[in-house]
Chain A
């Protein structure tokens, strides 16, 4: 029988939640890396027992952990007492911006909150995206915004500097959460195509495996920047794709839910009848590419659900027409937030939808959103949720 493994990153450690295909009885493992911030964990599609973890701390910086046994044990790739790593040129937590002339991206500053230029400074890894085809290749979206890639199982990292070196780089500015590259989507139909999103620069796409990039923000309107239709500067919160239709992208922007039917070349708003179109997370049903999910948040000033009612909204029409999903979710006195990487879906026939909250709850709907159950309700604030569907 199939089973699912939910990878939960929190402010104070990582948790693994497992269940069989019924998804009604759960085992909880953790905390792993207790006391550390786990911004993101994700398993390799090639080797599901290979799980990548971004482990960080305001005191000790960034670490990169990997499991090769489904989360039973962890290690920093390449770091062993027996085989010292080639410090300082090679380390699993060494994310150095490539500003060499050879990179063509000798860019050292971006726009700061006060409008002045500020040096690029690595802070943490927000998102890890394993390759669809190679277990040793993984991408890391980092703050300050850049994309790195490892092809040796995480032992060393190289920046895809054409992104940060894009001509608009000096105009990129941090959002309230920092200037983070938080979304990385690999196109299963085109190995050279990658989509990424940055707060608050916008979405970008490469068609040549990361060598060159272009902004894909046409159609986005953001009233909080001087030119609402600018090429860059939009605070994209998350983007999502159903792998069966890689040219169709969905976006939760700071305000507005958007869709693109041409791989991001242009976007149209599909907020429709949502009670508020501010939010952070968005995801797509595993088998119904026009069925999408968001969790509306009251506003950019009040990061919690409207009226204290936790409601997931589902559209079966690719946007515009939305229905509230509430069965099993708290409908009073609920003032949590759902962060951008804290929603995921499984691949079972009756698609499961999962999300975690800043209040430490992780919810599952084993039936596409019709009803919800609480898997755990007292974890530290949840930063990310990823689901693995295992044979």
Chain B
């Protein structure tokens, strides 16, 4: 497991194109996420590190996932999992990224 100096696991997050532009990054981002590593904890860490993303993944009012975004990890669709569900060990160990994906919709 890769950790930061405080012992928090370093989680890789893959963002869709437009959110990478908003965050000003070109590839995956790596975030130190305090345990337990859950969807909510990853998104909290992501928004704290990149404030420009606040409101773009979760609705400001409800904090629910935006309908056209999905959360994938380790070949699983976690989008409908409760936000406090622990993420797979391969995510925590840094072997796989947590993927935020824009749904294929529109024209």
Q: Which residues of A contact B (CB under 8 A)?
A: 35-36, 57-63, 76, 79-81, 84-85, 87-88, 91, 93-96, 122
Contact = CB atoms under 8 A, between A and B. Distances in A.
B51 A84 contact: yes
A60 B52 CA distance: 12
A122 B51 contact: no
Contacts of A58: 68, 105-106
| Overall SS of chain B's interface | loop
Contact of A79 (B18, B51, B61, B103): B51
B102 interface: yes
B27 interface: no
B16 interface: yes
| Overall SS of chain A's interface | loop
B48 interface: yes
Contact of B55 (A35, A36, A84, A94): A94
A101 to B, nearest CB: 18
A87 B56 CA distance: 13
A84 B48 contact: yes
Interface string B35-70: 000000000000110111011110111010010110
Ordered nearest first, which 10 A-B pairs have the shortest CB separation? A60-B56, A59-B68, A94-B60, A93-B55, A79-B51, A59-B102, A79-B52, A96-B61, A84-B51, A91-B54
A87 B48 CA distance: 9
Which size bracket describes the interface of B in this complex?
20 to 34
Interface string B7-47: 00000000011110010000000000000000000000001
Contact of A63 (B16, B56, B63): B56
A57 B54 CA distance: 14
A208 B40 CA distance: 43
A61 B61 CA distance: 12
A133 B17 CA distance: 39
A22 B2 CA distance: 63
B102 A87 contact: no
10 contacts: A36-B18, A59-B105, A60-B18, A60-B56, A63-B22, A79-B51, A84-B51, A87-B51, A95-B60, A96-B60
B56 A81 contact: no
A36 B16 CA distance: 13
A35 B19 CA distance: 12
A105 to B, nearest CB: 16
B66 A61 contact: yes
A85 B54 CA distance: 10
Contacts of B57: 60
Contact of A93 (B18, B47, B60, B68): B60
Contacts of B106: 58
A300 B16 CA distance: 38
Contact of A88 (B16, B18, B52, B60): B60
A66 to B, nearest CB: 13
Nearest to B56: A60
B56 A61 contact: yes
A81 to B, nearest CB: 7
B54 A93 contact: yes
A269 B37 CA distance: 63
Interface string B66-107: 101100000000000000000000000000000000110110
B52 A76 contact: yes
Given A93-B60, A96-B61, A57 B18 contact: yes
B55 to A, nearest CB: 5
A132 B18 CA distance: 33
